[in-house]
Amino acid sequence: MAELVSVYDYPSDVAMVVRKLKDRGFTDLTTYSPAPFNDVEDAEDPRPSKVRAFHLIGSLVGVVTGFGIQIWMSMDWPIRIAGKNIAAIPPMWIIGFELQTLFGGILVVVGLAILGGLYPRPLDKHYSPRFSAEEFGIVVRCEDRDAAEVESLMRGHNAKEVKLEAAH
């Protein structure tokens, strides 16, 4: 197996190279960007992010918890206040809404941590501080026999540098 690391100045070049690589079947790749660029992200993986599923689950759990604790606690020690029902629903919307937001927000961040692999760990061997400056990187893992084709494609799209490494 070979690993090719290339460096670019422009996100449009990165998006183009990624699309072409994937068209030719080189799907085992990683991009590095100094800032968010939808084109690059979508070229690498066009599927919608699963963060939304975390949001939905968190919000549903939150709203159910919000209403649940209020109904249960009101019934557990019933005190009639201002002539309202013991478990009056309209004022419960407020805490229901707040807990929906709270749980939804927490689960969104949990989703980000899981999907983005955000936990303290060693950085990839090809990661460079250049990628948190202004440059972009693409790492492609391919068969040795395909390295020349990948390299040619990268250079054909304004790669500033291309480095070939043997992968294990």
DSSP symbols for 111-166: HHHHHTT-SS-PPPTT--GGGGTT-EEEEEEE-GGGHHHHHHHHHTTT-SEEEEEE
Tell me the number of residues near other proteins by CB under 8 A. 79
The answer to whether 21 contacts other proteins (rule: CB under 8 A) is no
Q: How far is the CB of 129 from other proteins (least distance, A)?
A: 4
The answer to whether 51 contacts other proteins (rule: CB under 8 A) is yes
Residues 82-121, interacting with other proteins (CB under 8 A):
82, 84, 88, 91-92, 94-95, 97-99, 101-102, 104-106, 108-109, 111-113, 115-121
The answer to whether 153 contacts other proteins (rule: CB under 8 A) is no
Q: How far is the CB of 10 from other proteins (least distance, A)?
A: 5
The answer to whether 166 contacts other proteins (rule: CB under 8 A) is no
Q: Residues 135, 6: contact at Cβ < 8 Å?
A: no
The answer to whether 27 contacts other proteins (rule: CB under 8 A) is no
- Rg of the chain in Å (alpha carbons): 25
